[in-house]
C-alpha cells in the first residue's frame, strides 16, 4: 500500500474569501499548518462515557506493553554493535550510539550501554558522552516507524500528518542536541562537572512500569526472544485502535476556533512534553503519543515543537538514575553534562529564536515529505551519517 505525500493545500477547506486568503497567507508565513480538503477524518461510533476511561487505560497499557516488547526483542542487537573498531574514538562512539538507537528503535538501552561500557573501562568518559548523545539523535526514529504504521492502517486519511511527527522529532532533536552537546563536551573535558559527586541512590519507579510493567515480563516468559519484536508491532496497532475509539474527530472549523487554547502556546507545551516523558521515563512513549493526536486533527504539528523539546530533556531522567545506581561518578557527570548543556541551549532557542526555528523546521519537514523519494533519502541519511562517523 503506497503512502501519498502530495503537496498539501495551504488554504482551509472552506469557500474562499478575502479573509480566508489573508488567514492562509499569515498562517503560511508563521509556519502554521492549516487543515486541507484532502484530510478525511472518519466519524467513529461514539463510545459510552462510562467506557471511555477503560478504553483509554487499555489502549495506553497496550501501547506501553508494545514498546517494552519491541525494546526487549531488539536488545539482542546491542552486543553485536559493540566492537573495538566501533569504540576507538569519540566520533565512532557517536555513530555507534546513533546507529544503535535507530536499529533497536530505542535510545534507552544504548544510553545505558554507554554508561556500563564506561564503568567497565571499555570506553573513556569522552566516548561515553558522545555515545550517549548519539543515542538521543537516533531514538526518535521509532516515531517515524510508528507514524508509517499508523498511516498504512488509515486508508483515505491524510497520511502525511502521522509521518511528519517522526520527521519533526528527528529534526528538533538534532537542532537541540548537536549544538548543546558540543558545548557540554568542551565543558566536560575542561572538568566543569568534576565537582559533582552523588553519593546516594534514589529510588525512582516509572508510573507506567508500576501499572503495566508486568505485561511485557509475562510475554517474555512464554515467547522466544526472536518473536518479541513482531508481536510488539501487533500489540502497538491494537493499542492505537483502542485509543482512537475515545478520541473524537475534529473538523477544520473546530481547530480554527481552538487557536487560543493552551496547547497552542509554547511554554505550556514545553512543560507538558517534559512532564509526560518524566512520568513515563520514555521519550518513545511521549513522542509517539503525538502521532494519533496530529493524525486526527487534535494538534497541529507546528504546535508540537515545544513539546518535543521538553520531552528531549527529561528523557535523560532514567539514564541519570542508571548512572547513580552504577555508583560511577564519571557516569553521573557524563549525564549531567549532556542534560545541562542541552537544557540551556533548548531554553535559548525557545525564548529567543522560536519563530525562526519553527519556520525552518516546518519548511524542512514539508520539503522532506513532498515525495516518497525524498522521505526515503532522509531515512537513508539517518543511517548513512552514523555509519560514516564509525568509518571515519
pLDDT for 2 beyond 90: no
| pLDDT interval class at 13 (50, 70, 90) | very low
pLDDT for 338 beyond 90: yes
Q: Collect all residues with Cβ–Cβ distance below 8 Å to 224 and sequence separation of at least 6.
A: none
Q: Collect all residues with Cβ–Cβ distance below 8 Å to 237 and sequence separation of at least 6.
A: 149, 153
Span 211-223, pLDDT tens digits: 666 777 788 788 8
Distance CA 57, CA 4 (A): 32
Distance CA 111, CA 101 (A): 8
pLDDT for 17 beyond 50: no
DSSP for 361-380? Answer: HHHHHHHHTT-HHHHHHHHH
- Cβ atoms of 72 and 220 within 8 Å: the answer is yes
Instruction: Name the 3-class secondary structure at 192.
Output: coil
Span 303-328, pLDDT tens digits: 899 999 999 999 898 888 788 877 78
Q: For residue 175, which of 79, 64, 306 has the smallest C-alpha distance?
A: 306
Query: Model-level pTM greater than 0.75?
Result: no
Q: Which residues of 301-318 are buried (b: 16+ CB within 10 A; e: fewer)?
A: bbbbbbbbbbbbbbbbbb
Maximum C-alpha span of the chain: 67
- Cβ atoms of 20 and 34 within 8 Å: the answer is no
Domain extents for the chain? 50-391
Q: Which of 91-95, 180-184, 248-252, 286-290 has the lowest mean pLDDT?
A: 248-252
Span 277-296, pLDDT tens digits: 887 667 777 888 888 888 77
Region 65-80 average pLDDT: 66
Span 354-380, pLDDT tens digits: 999 999 999 999 999 998 899 999 999
Q: Collect all residues with Cβ–Cβ distance below 8 Å to 106 and sequence separation of at least 6.
A: 67, 70, 71, 74, 139, 142, 284
Span 119-147, pLDDT tens digits: 877 788 999 999 999 999 998 888 888 88
Amino acid at each position: 500500500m503506497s503512502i501519498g505525500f502530495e503537496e498539501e493545500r495551504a488554504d482551509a477547506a472552506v469557500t474562499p474569501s478575502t479573509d480566508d486568503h489573508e488567514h492562509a497567507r499569515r498562517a503560511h508565513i508563521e509556519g502554521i499548518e492549516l487543515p486541507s480538503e484532502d484530510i478525511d477524518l472518519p466519524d467513529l461510533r461514539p463510545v459510552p462515557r462510562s467506557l471511555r476511561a477503560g478504553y483509554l487505560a487499555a489502549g495506553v497499557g497496550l501501547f506501553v506493553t508494545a514498546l517494552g516488547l519491541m525494546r526487549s526483542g531488539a536488545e539482542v542487537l546491542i552486543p553485536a554493535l559493540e566492537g573495538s573498531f566501533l569504540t576507538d574514538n569519540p566520533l565512532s562512539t557517536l555513530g555507534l550510539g546513533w546507529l544503535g538507537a535507530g536499529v533497536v528503535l530505542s535510545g534507552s538501552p544504548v544510553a545505558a550501554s554507554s554508561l556500563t561500557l564506561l564503568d567497565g573501562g571499555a570506553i573513556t568518559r569522552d566516548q561515553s558522552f558522545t555515545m550517549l548523545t548519539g543515542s538521543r539523535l537516533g531514538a526518535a526514529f521509532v516515531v517515524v516507524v510508528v507514524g508509517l504504521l499508523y498511516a498504512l492502517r488509515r486508508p483515505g486519511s491524510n497520511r502525511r500528518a502521522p509521518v511528519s511527527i517522526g520527521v519533526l522529532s528527528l529534526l528538533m532533536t538534532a537542532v537541540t542536541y548537536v549544538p548543546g552537546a558540543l558545548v557540554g563536551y568542551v565543558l566536560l573535558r575542561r572538568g566543569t562537572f568534576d565537582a559533582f559527586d552523588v553519593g546516594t541512590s534514589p529510588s525512582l519507579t516509572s508510573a507506567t512500569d508500576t501499572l503495566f510493567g508486568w505485561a511485557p515480563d509475562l510475554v517474555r516468559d512464554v515467547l522466544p526472544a526472536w518473536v518479541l519484536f513482531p508481536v510488539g508491532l501487533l500489540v502497538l496497532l491494537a493499542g492505537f485502535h483502542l485509543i482512537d475509539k475515545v478520541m473524537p474527530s475534529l473538523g477544520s472549523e473546530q481547530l480554527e476556533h481552538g487557536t487560543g487554547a493552551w496547547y497552542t502556546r509554547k511554554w505550556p507545551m514545553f512543560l507538558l512534553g517534559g512532564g509526560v516523558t518524566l512520568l513515563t521515563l520514555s521519550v518513545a512513549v511521549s513522542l509517539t503519543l503525538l502521532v494519533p493526536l496530529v493524525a486526527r486533527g487534535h494538534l497541529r504539528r507546528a504546535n508540537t515543537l515545544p513539546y518535543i523539546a521538553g520531552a528531549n530533556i527529561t528523557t535523560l531522567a532514567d539514564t541519570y538514575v542508571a548512572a547513580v545506581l552504577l555508583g560511577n561518578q564519571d557516569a553521573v557527570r557524563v549525564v549531567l553534562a549532556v542534560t545541562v548543556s542541552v537544557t540551556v541551549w533548548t531554553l535559548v532557542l525557545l525564548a529567543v529564536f522560536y519563530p525562526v526555528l519553527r519556520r525552518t523546521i516546518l519548511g524542512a519537514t514539508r520539503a522532506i515529505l513532498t515525495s516518497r523519494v525524498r522521505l526515503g533519502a532522509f531515512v537513508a541519511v539517518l543511517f548513512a551519517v552514523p555509519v560514516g562517523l564509525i568509518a571515519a
